[in-house]
Structure 1
Amino acid sequence: MGAMPADHQGPAGATDVAPRSTTAANVAAANAAVKNDYDSFAEGYTAENETNLINAHYTRPAVLDLAGDVTGRRVLDAGCGAGATAAALRDRGAVVAGFDRSTKMVELARRRLGDDVDLRVADIAAPLPYPDAAFDDVVASLVLHYLEDWSAPLAELRRVLKPGGRLIVVVNHPVMLKMQHPEADYFAISKWSAEDTFGGQQAVLTFWHRPLHAMTDAFTAAGFRTSVISEPHPSPDARELFPEELAKFPSGAFMCFLFFVLEAV
C-alpha cells in the first residue's frame, strides 16, 4: 500500500498484515502459496504485531478509544487472532469472548487469556456458535475485507448483538486500492492479493475491495445505523517510537484503515 507503514489484523476469522502490492516478480509465488493461511505463520505474525506501529500503536488504540467504557459489557472479538484486543478489553473491565478461523491463533489467544475466557474456532462467514442477543458489543477488526459477501456475516453479527448494541468495524480504507493501482475501478467490488513474510514464512493475503457506499449500504441492509466513521491518528507515543515511518506524514495521520461504530437497530 505504497508509503503506508506495514501491518494489521484478521481474515474471516484470523489476523494479518498491511498489504504490500503483489508485483509481476512475485505473482507465481503468490499463486503457489496458500492464501490467508494464518495457521502457517501465526507465531511470526503474532510476535511482530505485539509492538508494531499498525497494530499496537494504531489499530488497537483506535478500537479501544471507540469502544470507550466497557466495564461490565459483554464483548465479542470476531476474528480475535492471538487475543491482544480481547486482552486489552478485558483489562478495561469487559467480559470478553472471541473466535477465529485459525486454530493456531486461538491456541495463542488461550495462552494469553487463560481458560476462563470463551474462545472458539469459528468462521465469520458461517453461522456463529452464540445465542441471539448474547453481546453488548462486537469488535470485527480487519476481518470483513477478506470476504466478498458481507450480507450473511453482518446478519450473524447483528443477531448476536442486543438491540442497541454496537459493532466496531475496521477494514482496509477503500481509497488504498486506487492509490496503489490507479487503473483499478474504485466502484467495483474486486479481489486483490498481497505478499509478506512473517518469521521467515511467506504469506499471501487476499482481500476484497469495496467502495465506501457499498460498505454503508451493507451495514444498513443488515440492520445497523452508522454512528461513527473515523480515520484516526496513531497513538500519541507513535511518533517518538517510529520517527522514520511517521516523518512521511506531517499531519500525524496516514491513509490505512477505515473505522466504523455501528448501532444495532
Structure 2
Amino acid sequence: MVDRVGSDPQYDVFADEFLEHARDGLYNAHYDRPACLELLGDVGGRTVVDVACGPGLYAGELVARGARVIGCDVSPRMIELARQRVPAGEFHVHDLNERLGWLADASVDLVVFALAFEYVDQRAQLLHELRRVLRPGGALVLSIPHPTGDWLRQGGNYFQTRVIEEVWSGGWAVRYWIAPLERTCEELHEAGFLIERMIEPRPVPAGADVDTERYQRLSAEPTGFLAIKAIPDPRRT
C-alpha cells in the first residue's frame, strides 16, 4: 500500500492538456472557481497567494479583479504557463512539502488553495505555514474533493486516511490522499484557524450547457467538491 504521494510534479506531463480542460470545463470554470472566488470576496488592492496555482486560471481572474498575486506550483510547466498567461503575477516553482521560506510572516491578505491539498504529504506543516504568512484579518479559502464523493467512489472505511491511485478520463494517472472531513477540520484547528464558512457548491447555471448530465449530478449529489473559508483564530498566537 502506498503511504505517501511524494513530490514529483504529477501534472507536468499533462499541464497543457489540463489548461485546455480547466479553462472552460464544468468542474473548474463553472463549479470550483465561482465558489472559491465568492468566498474570497473583494480582492482589490490585496495580496493573494495562489497555492498550487497550476496554469494561472485563478491568478488571471484575481489580477483582473485588482489583486497582487503570488503563485506557486510544484510543476515547472505549470509555472511556465502561469507566467505566460499572467505576466503581472509573481510565480515560484515550489514543493508544498517544504516551508514557504520566500514569504515573510504576516505578509499576505488572502490565500486560495484550490483542489490540491490532497496531493500534499506534509499537510499539517503546510497549514501552519499558511497561518504564519497571513496577516491579522486575512483568510484561507480551501477547496477539496468532497470526502463523501471519495468514499462513494473508493469504498472501504470512510474514516481511514489513505493514498489512492487513479487514472482519470484523459488518461492522466494521479496519486492523492483521501481523508474524512473530520481530519481536514482538525488539521485546520491545530494550525490555528477557525472555519468561518463551509459550503457544498452547486455548479453555476452556465455549466448546464457544458455538460448537462454532470451538471445535474453535481446539483443533486455530494460527489464533487467542498469549499472552506478559514480565518486565523484571534484567540491563539
On the 8 A contact 1:229/1:261 being kept in 2, the answer is yes
Q: Which residue matches 1:25? A: none
On the 8 A contact 1:133/1:161 being kept in 2, the answer is yes
TM-score by length of structure 1 reads 0.80
What amino acid does structure 1 have at the position aligned with 2:159?
F
Matched, 1:233 2:205: no
Deviation of residue 147 (structure 1)? Answer: 2.4
TM-score by length of structure 2 reads 0.90
Matched, 1:186 2:158: yes
- Residues 245 and 160 of structure 1: is their aligned pair in 2 closer, same or farther, counting only changes over 3 Å? same
Q: Which residue matches 1:41? A: 14
What amino acid does structure 1 have at the position aligned with 2:228?
F
Matched, 1:54 2:27: yes
On the 8 A contact 1:80/1:98 being kept in 2, the answer is yes
Count of matched residue positions in the alignment of Structure 1 and Structure 2: 228
- What are the within-5 Å matches in structure 2 for residues 86-97 of structure 1? 86-97=59-70
What amino acid does structure 2 have at the position aligned with 1:190?
R
**Cα RMSD (Å) of the superposition?**
2.0
Unaligned runs of 5+ in 1: 1-10, 14-34
Q: Which residue matches 2:123? A: 150
Point out the structure with the larger helix share.
2
Runs of 4+ aligned residues of structure 1 deviating over 3 Å after TM superposition are: 251-254
Deviation of residue 96 (structure 1)? Answer: 1.0
- What are the within-5 Å matches in structure 2 for residues 127-142 of structure 1? 127-128=99-100, 129-142=102-115
Matched, 1:177 2:150: yes
Q: Which residue matches 1:69? A: 42
Unaligned runs of 5+ in 2: none
- Distance (whole Å) between structure 1 residues aligned to residue 220 and residue 13 of structure 2: 34
Question: Does the residue aligned with 1:108 lie in a helix, a strand or coil?
Answer: helix
Matched, 1:245 2:214: yes
Matched, 1:207 2:179: no
Question: Does the residue aligned with 2:96 lie in a helix, a strand or coil?
Answer: coil
Question: Does the residue aligned with 2:205 lie in a helix, a strand or coil?
Answer: coil
- Distance (whole Å) between structure 1 residues aligned to residue 189 and residue 65 of structure 2: 30
- Distance (whole Å) between structure 2 residues aligned to residue 197 and residue 174 of structure 1: 20
Q: Percent identity?
A: 34
